[in-house]
Amino acid sequence: MMTQTLWRKISQNIERQIEEKELSPGDKLPTEYELSRQFMVNRHTVRRALSYLQDKGFIESTQGRGTYVRRPARPMTLNRRPRFAEAVISQGRIPSVRVLRLDIRSSEPHVAAELGLASGAPIVFLERLRLVDDEPTGLSLHHFSAERFPTFPEMYRARGTITQTLIDSGVPDYTRRRTSISSRLSMPAEAELLHVPRHIPLLIQRYLNVDGLGRPLEYGESRGTGEVTVEFPPSPTD
């Protein structure tokens, strides 16, 4: 009974630190040896507490790397009208973004091809850090034709959202034509911005948005640690 009380005490202590944000996603927990000394228990008791927290999704352990606070899973749904802020608000959470870079530059060949431009044509480049409840959840890169939207940087700084900037630029609606999904380990700068250890894989989404006439509008890339939910519309026989 005493052993059960001790491992629960350890798990509750760590869980409280996570919930009160004394420990944040990506933070590394003390080693089993350090925890056993802190709580004056044997390592078997510590392992049981950590195993319990891992089963509940609070932490994750990797052999040779240690134990880290896990980021809560926030599934993203793929649909034809993806809107970050609307999706987050619908979940009862608070969205925000931080602009990392916003400029006009020469397009890389694959970006130009996606937007139907000549290689090297000027594009608007926007890189943002997305946050939910002030917690970093993803990085996004956005590319638009600078010839089509020459005042995009100034308008975006004034309006604060891509959707409103496009509306005021004469694009009332846009939809997703294609999304490709892959994964890779994070780069050092990405791991630092997203508050995740480098061994955690990032989910990479590359996509093409089109305007109401079906013309290429935006080529983008999203990098994050969330899950993706794919929902299919019901068939006529359902």
Q: How confident is the model over 4-19, as pLDDT tens digits? A: 588 999 999 999 998 8
Burial 10-27 (b: 16+ CB within 10 A, else e): bbeebbebbeeeebebbb
93 Cβ contact list (under 8 Å, min separation 6): 132, 133
Per-residue pLDDT tens over the stretch 88-103: 787 788 889 999 999 9
For residue 66, give Cα distances in angstroms to 10, 40, 199: 17, 20, 11
- Describe the crossing of helices 32-39 and 43-55 by its angle, rounded to 10 degrees: 110
Q: State mean pLDDT over 226-236.
A: 61
The pLDDT tens digits for 38-79 are: 999 999 999 999 999 988 888 888 777 788 888 766 656 667
Bridge partners of 59, per DSSP, are: 69
Q: What is the pLDDT of residue 110?
A: 96
**What is the arithmetic mean of pLDDT over 93-117?**
95
Question: How far apart are alpha carbons 178 and 43 in whole angstroms?
Answer: 50
Residue 136, SS3 per DSSP: strand
CA 189 to each of CA 139, 192, 197: distance values in angstroms, whole numbers, following the listed order: 11, 5, 11
d(CA 17, CA 53): 12
- pLDDT value at position 226? 66
Using CA atoms of 54, 137, 176, 92 in order, give the dihedral in degrees to the nearest 10: 80
> What does the pLDDT read at residue 116?
97
Which pair of tokens denotes residue 94?
Answer: 């608070």
pLDDT higher than threshold 60 for residue 173 = yes
SS3 content of the chain, % helix, strand, coil (to 5): 30, 35, 35
User: For residues 177 and 167, what is the distance between their CA atoms, to the nearest angstrom?
Assistant: 19
Q: What is the pLDDT of residue 152?
A: 97
Domains with residue ranges and CATH for the chain: 2-69 (1.10.10.10), 76-230 (3.40.1410.10)
Would you place residue 190 in the very low, low, confident or very high pLDDT band (cuts 50, 70, 90)?
very high
